[in-house]
Amino acid sequence: MLVGVSLAEAATRRVQIGDGMAVTLNSHHEVILEALPLRHEGLIAFANRLCGRTRGAVKKVSAANRGVRRLRAGVRYRVPFELLLPEYQLRALTALFEADSLQAEGWLHVVGKPEGRRSESLWQIAEWFTGSGLSYKKIRTVNRLTDEEILPGQRLLIPRDLLRPTLASALPRSLAPGGPVAPGRLEYGADEHGSYALYSLRAGEALYSSVVVHFTGRIYVDDVNRIAGEIAARNRISDVTDIPVGYKVKIPLEYLMPEFLPAADPRRLKYEEGLSRSAEYSNQVRSHDLAGVTVVLDAGHGGRDVGASVGRVWESIYVYDIMLRTRRLLLSTTAAEVVPTTRDGSSYAIQESDVLSPSRGHAVLTSPPYAIEDASVSSNLRWYLSNSVFSGRVSDSSDPDKVVFISIHADSLHPSLRGAMVYFPGLLKNPSSYGKSGTVYTSRREVREQPRVSFTQSERIRSEGRSRDMAARTIQAFSAEGLKVHDNKPVRDRVIRRRKAWVPAVLRFNEVPARVLVEVCNLANPEDRRLIQTQVFREKVARAIVRGIRSYYSSSEQEGSHIVGG
Ligand SMILES: [Zn+2]
């Protein structure tokens, strides 16, 4: 990757700080941030993002880059330290001076060993940390220096009251007298281990639920435990069950969900950009009683693949029953056409009992059908089948927005969590074209019809918007039916597990613009597990799913109570 201007040769130290940014300290002791413009970002937006709407910032940023006016993608541009928003100043300094530490009384700076000619000066240090070279006298006094001579490796305390406000706010507070942070609010800071958010635990709050699940979005038991362990270690908490009320927990910024990051953090800006972009692509098609609408209904797993299994409850059996009930309700109360992706046996008969008997008889309804053996083959054949249905409808000159895809699952998460969660496909990096080979695939008509699938960027953006709209309405419908939904972020654009993030294949390679995956409850939670073994609950879930579809096609912004009869 190129640096926008050729001044990099003067740099004596250069550190990558993530998000395509790097910070340099050159031989003139200038701290400079280099950043890539975001997609379609012009000079003004670039300067606003990194410097705030400061008067003159645009001109100065341009001047720092040889008077540039039009930014080019993939080129890094320089922003002088003085222009940067406080949070970027903090990131720059903590990245450059790794040996420094933040203490309650102030910032402890270790004088650097310069690779260039001149060593750091007291004036320079005062300027970096306090915003004014003139504070050098006070720094000298506090550190009992007899003259202005400082040596590499020497430690200097820059007292809290001299520091730039953002740097001061990053310092740890002594725990006893410092007031607690406002409920639910985070403060931000940095120490020798990196940037963090500070959250003050309230009475009755536990590390794993109030910190890990809430702020990091982790939901799988191994992830929740691992991150809780890492946070405990970073905060030197030896007993996670005995943390005093008001204890301020440092949460590494990289673990936070984007909405909890500082307002100017690039990852948060990108997230917010995604929200506003997909809002422009919500569904515009209206259909009373779902006439003309095709619903592809996908019950997760089946056959040899039982999915999540806790106690004697197999995900495959219970979500298949919910699919059947949803189908029945759609057929009896709407004009929609329903296309299930799987079937157990030769009919769609519903077992009218609470506890269901196990079966491994499910097949994916491709031509010929696939009696489910392998989980990944079965999930790939589902999106092939869905794409085949979709192309059929579109070639019948039907509106592509009149097809929706709903996959029904139940997950196995940290046992403290309860309720429903809906996934939609976010704009993760996708291969430009994707397809499967091997006879298990090519022996099926749906695969031969269209062996490979590809999406343009605008198709992805459109379906992100449609699907997010549908996901949000489905979650609203669950609440409206009195069903529990997750307390934290029940609508998500990716699965996060074991340091990876992905969109399930059944959504990722599916061409239906509005497509969601509904996790109806958490089988690892005893109450959720009890509920799914009742017909009343499964019938309610079916009603919620139908209600969500009707809301998606309803004429009003908010779904009305008339939408689902009975
Ligand atoms: Zn599943």
265-289 residue pLDDT tens: 888 888 888 777 777 888 888 998 9
Q: What is the distance between the alpha carbons of residues 202 and 223, in angstroms, rounded to a whole number?
A: 23
Q: What is the distance between the alpha carbons of residues 408 and 549, in angstroms, rounded to a whole number?
A: 14
Mean pLDDT of the chain: 87
- CA angle 509-513-519, nearest 5°? 70
User: Is residue 463 predicted with pLDDT exceeding 70?
Assistant: yes
User: Is residue 528 predicted with pLDDT exceeding 60?
Assistant: yes
What spacing in Å lies between the alpha carbon of 109 and ligand 1's midpoint?
Answer: 51
User: Is residue 183 predicted with pLDDT exceeding 60?
Assistant: no
The predicted pLDDT at position 352 comes to 95
Q: What is the distance between the alpha carbons of residues 529 and 236, in angstroms, rounded to a whole number?
A: 36
The predicted pLDDT at position 171 comes to 67
Q: What is the distance between the alpha carbons of residues 385 and 532, in angstroms, rounded to a whole number?
A: 28
Percent of the chain with pLDDT over 70: 91
With bands split at pLDDT 50, 70 and 90, how would you rate the model's confidence at 118?
A: low
408 in Cβ contact with 326 (< 8 Å): yes
Q: What is the distance between the alpha carbons of residues 82 and 71, in angstroms, rounded to a whole number?
A: 21
Strands 21-26 and 101-103: unpaired
What spacing in Å lies between the alpha carbon of 504 and ligand 1's midpoint?
Answer: 10
What spacing in Å lies between the alpha carbon of 89 and ligand 1's midpoint?
Answer: 45
Task: Tell me the pLDDT tens digit for each residue of 433-452.
Answer: 899 999 999 999 999 999 99
Q: What is the distance between the alpha carbons of residues 182 and 198, in angstroms, rounded to a whole number?
A: 11
What spacing in Å lies between the alpha carbon of 18 and ligand 1's midpoint?
Answer: 34
With bands split at pLDDT 50, 70 and 90, how would you rate the model's confidence at 30?
A: confident
Q: Which of 171-185, 349-363, 516-530 has the lowest mean pLDDT?
A: 171-185
Compare 410 and 101 and report the one with higher pLDDT. 410
What spacing in Å lies between the alpha carbon of 521 and ligand 1's midpoint?
Answer: 11
Packing angle, helices 535-552 and 315-333, rounded to 10: 50
User: Is residue 116 predicted with pLDDT exceeding 70?
Assistant: no
With bands split at pLDDT 50, 70 and 90, how would you rate the model's confidence at 9?
A: very low
Question: Which of 104-113, 152-161, 472-481 is modeled with the greatest confidence?
Answer: 472-481
Report how far apart, in Å, the C-alpha atoms of 257 and of each of 183, 260, 497 are: 18, 6, 14
Q: What value does the mean pLDDT take over residues 381-395?
A: 95
Residue recorded with tokens 């809906």: 422
Report how far apart, in Å, the C-alpha atoms of 254 and of each of 17, 24, 186, 196, 469 are: 12, 22, 14, 8, 28
Q: What tokens does 214 get?
A: 């809430």
What are the helix (H) ranges across 280-374? Answer: 315-333
533 in Cβ contact with 313 (< 8 Å): yes
58 in Cβ contact with 47 (< 8 Å): yes
Closest to 111 measured CA to CA, from 166, 103, 123 = 123
What spacing in Å lies between the alpha carbon of 410 and ligand 1's midpoint?
Answer: 6
